[in-house]
Amino acid sequence: MTESQHRSGFACFVGRPNVGKSTLMNALVGEKVAIMSSRPQTTRRAIRGVLTRDDAQLVVVDTPGLHRPRTLLGERLNDLVRETFSEVDVIGFCLPADQKVGPGDQWIAREVSEARAPVVAIVTKVDAVSREKVAEHLLAVSQLGDWADIVPVSSIKDIQIDTLVDVLVKHLPEGPPLYPDGEVTDEPEDVRVAELIREAALEGVRDELPHSIAVVIEEMLEPDAEMATRDVLEIRAQLYVERDSQKGIIIGRGGSRLKEVGAQAREGIERLLGRRVYLDLHIKVAKDWQRDPKQLGRLGF
Ligand SMILES: Nc1nc2c(ncn2[C@@H]2O[C@H](COP(=O)(O)OP(=O)(O)OP(=O)(O)O)[C@@H](O)[C@H]2O)c(=O)[nH]1
pLDDT in tens, 72-105: 666 766 777 777 788 889 999 999 999 999 988 9
Domain boundary among the residues 170, 205, 229 is at: 170
CB under 8 Å to 89, separation ≥6 — which residues? 9, 10, 11, 117, 171, 172, 173
Residue 251 lies in a domain: yes
Segment 2-23, tens digit of pLDDT: 545 899 888 989 888 889 988 8
* 46 within some domain: yes
| Domain-terminating residue out of 170, 203, 237 | 170
Read off the pTM: 0.63
Phi, psi of 237 (to 5 degrees): -130, 145
CB of 19 closer than 6 A to ligand 1? yes
Backbone angles phi, psi at 189, to 5 degrees: -55, -40
Q: By alpha-carbon position, which residue is closest to atom 25 of ligand 1?
A: 17
With a 6 A CB cut-off, is 128 part of the ligand 1 pocket? yes
User: Is residue 230 located within the same domain as residue 119?
Assistant: no
Q: How close is the Cα of 146 to the center of ligand 1, in Å?
A: 25
In terms of domains, do 72 and 132 share one?
yes
Residue 44 domain-assigned (yes or no) = yes
Give burial (CB, 10 Å; 0-12/13-18/19+) of 214.
buried
> Low-confidence residues of the chain, pLDDT below 70?
1-4, 30-48, 62-74, 76-77, 179-188, 210, 225-229, 289-291, 293, 295-301
Q: How far is the CA of 224 from the centre of ligand 1 (A)?
A: 43
Cβ of 38 closer than 6 Å to ligand 1, yes or no, is yes
| 105 and 151 both lie in a single domain | yes
What range does the domain containing 253 cover?
Answer: 189-298
Q: Are residues 291 and 193 in the same domain?
A: yes
**Does 108 reside within a domain?**
yes
Residue 177 falls within a domain, yes or no? no
